[in-house]
Chain A
Amino acid sequence: MTAARARFTAPIRAGSRFLLGLLLAAAVWEGAVILLGIRPHILPRLSEVLSAIALTPGAYRDGFLRTLAETLIGFVAGAGIGVLNGVAFFRAPVLRDMLFPIFVVSQTIPVIAFGALVVLWFGNTLMAKAVIAFYLTFFPVTVNTLLGLNAVDPRQVALLRSFGASGRQVLLRLQLPMALPQIFVALRLAASLSLVGAIVGEWFGDTTGIGVLLLQAMYNENVVALWAAILCSALLGTGFYALVALAERRIVFWGAEQ
């Protein structure tokens, strides 16, 4: 039963060590600014940044939630469409040969060039940002889904076929689950990319969001507000990534074992 107990205590221990690390980093930040006499417009003290957030918590909370919504919608759409694309390309190589190069070309266009267009099309809406987040995420998910599906052991497919399985049964019971570890690699990447997409999307014009906070702080040369916005985006990015990683560990519990 020690193994079972280790399963529960190990994450707690790792978590508490991580918190300790965070506190240490915070102390180093605060201490270094004071001890080395770093000027506030280079690097403000952490406590100053935190109290700036505490002064107008509403603005930061709204910005956080807004960007979170854009990121989530873009991520979910990108993941869903990406997996569907991967499956479609896997089942229909003709489709893959026709569309895959176009996808690659689309991904070489810098998102900045593309962003203005999306805002023109969708207006200054939440949807416009979600579309940019989607644009950044669907491609890696497509590629990794296809990779994962192609990597399934043909002997395993032969076994299921010998049981009389249809193509659909082979896909749902074997190929997709087998591809999950690969798909999750892309999803972790997509978690970070969708946040980038949402923030960049906000730069093309909006009134709330972390990207907006970043821009405002930049124009006002308000270094404290800039750091506050950076902290918010760090919290959002890390939290979202951690959630995806946690889901991965729960769902792909068997690891890379084949």
Chain B
Amino acid sequence: MREVSKSFGTVQALRGFALSVQGGEFVTVVGPSGCGKSTLFNIVAGLDEPDDGGILRFKDRGCHARELLGRVSFMPQRDLLLPWRNVIDNAILANEIEGASRRDARARALAMLPEFGLAGFEKQYPHQLSGGMRQRVALMRTFLFERELMLLDEPFGALDALTRTMMQRWLLDVWQRHRRTILFITHDVDEAIFLGDRVLVMTARPGAVKLARQVDLPRPRTPDLVTAPEFVALKREILDAIEEEAMKSFIASTGA
């Protein structure tokens, strides 16, 4: 994948949003709540069309959002596992839909289990798993659906703080081995800086890019990074930007 850029003028959620992501890049998006992050993702996932005048490019070719259906692997906020499928069959759902042979897909998923900390759990059903494990099954489903671009919409939002940091490190680990392009939404600034090659801060609704910062911190990243001076300086800057936007939307909502 070379470049995805989009600029479109919606009345509400997004206005004149432009973004391009390089292949293999890990881009994180933060912003005040209700800034249109999810709208952005729905467009990139092909679920919503942007308004007229918007331009989407995928692999240097202009396209409609709906053409992106099946070409981007999307992970929503909730795990959305199917309760009647066990771990393996949930993980291969996307592969099954694109018509891959079940046996091959199962074999690949089975080989991937240890990497996702799910070894020995292949026959379990979602209601028998913890929240962190369910989330890992959902991530595995996203990874198995091999597409150039992965969209992760606050995948760790529902997890407790400890599980969350574990999952972040683990995700970086997996990403470094598989080298996928990732667009990652979060509202946690630490998470955004810790994970990303680049952090985007969105403005209050209508959403646009307020600030884009390259994160020039060495990889592999370790947990003590969060106290490094460069990290703190970057965090300061991003927090200020978010604060400003949050105040704007707060004033807009109370002033009206």
Query: What B residues does A254 contact at CB under 8 A?
Result: 83-84, 125-127
The answer to whether A156 has its CB under 8 Å from any CB of chain B is yes
Partner of B127, one of A163, A174, A257: A257
Q: Are A177 and B74 touching (Cβ within 8 A)?
A: no
Chain A residue with Cβ nearest B96: A173
Q: Which of B32-66 contact A (CB under 8 A)?
A: 42, 45-47
Whether A164 contacts B80 by the Cβ 8 Å rule is: no
Q: Cβ of A56: which chain B residues have Cβ within 8 Å of it? A: none
Chain A: number of interface residues, binned into ranges: 20 to 34
Q: Is the beta-carbon distance between B97 and A169 smaller than 8 angstroms? A: yes
Is B98 among interface residues, defined by CB-CB distance under 8 A? yes
Given contacts A155-B76, A155-B78, contact A163 B94 (CB under 8 A): yes
Q: Would you call the interface of chain B mostly helix, strand, loop, or mixed?
A: loop
Q: Contact mask A11-48 → B, CB, 8 Å, 1/0? A: 00000000000000000000000000000000000000
Asked if B80 and A163 sit within 8 Å, CB to CB, the answer is no
Assess whether A165 is in contact with B97, with CB atoms less than 8 Å apart: yes
Taken together as a complex, chains A and B put the C-alpha atoms of A153 and B82 apart, in Å, by 11
Choose among A158, A164, A258 the residue with the greatest number of B CB atoms under 10 Å from its CB. A164
Contacts of A153 in B (CB 8 A): 80
Q: Contact mask B67-104 → A, CB, 8 Å, 1/0? A: 00111111010101011100000000110111000000
Instruction: Assess whether A161 is interfacial by the CB under 8 Å rule.
Output: yes
Closest to A180 in B: B84
Please encode chain B, from 220 to 232, with 1 for each CB lying within 8 Å of some chain A CB and 0 for all others.
Answer: 0000000000000
Cβ of B97 and Cβ of A258 under 8 Å apart?
A: no
B145 interface residue per 8 A CB criterion? yes
A257 to B125, CA, bound (A): 11
Bound Cα distance A211, B219 (Å): 80
A163 adjacent to B84 (CB under 8 Å): no
- The reply to whether A156 and B74 form a contact with Cβ atoms under 8 Å apart is no
Among B74, B82, B84, B126, point to the contact of A162 (Cβ < 8 A).
Answer: B74
Measured between alpha carbons, how far is A132 from B94 in the docked complex, in Å? Answer: 44
Interface residues of A in 131-185 (CB under 8 A from B): 153, 155-156, 158-165, 169, 173-174, 177
CA of A211 to CA of B71, assembled, Å: 61
The answer to whether A164 touches B69 (Cβ under 8 A) is: yes
**Contact between chains at B83 and A258 (CB < 8 Å):** yes
Closest Cβ neighbor of A181 among chain B residues: B83
Known contacts A158-B76, A162-B74; is A257 also within 8 Å of B97 by CB? no
Residues of A bordering B, CB below 8 Å: 153, 155-156, 158-165, 169, 173-174, 177, 253-255, 257-258
Contact surface of B with A, Cβ cutoff 8 Å:
42, 45-47, 69-74, 76, 78, 80, 82-84, 93-94, 96-98, 125-127, 145
Return 5 A-B CB contacts under 8 Å, by A number: A155-B76, A158-B42, A162-B45, A163-B145, A254-B127
Q: A173-B97, A254-B126 are in contact. List 7 more A-B contacts (CB 8 A).
A: A160-B97, A162-B73, A163-B70, A163-B93, A164-B70, A169-B97, A258-B83
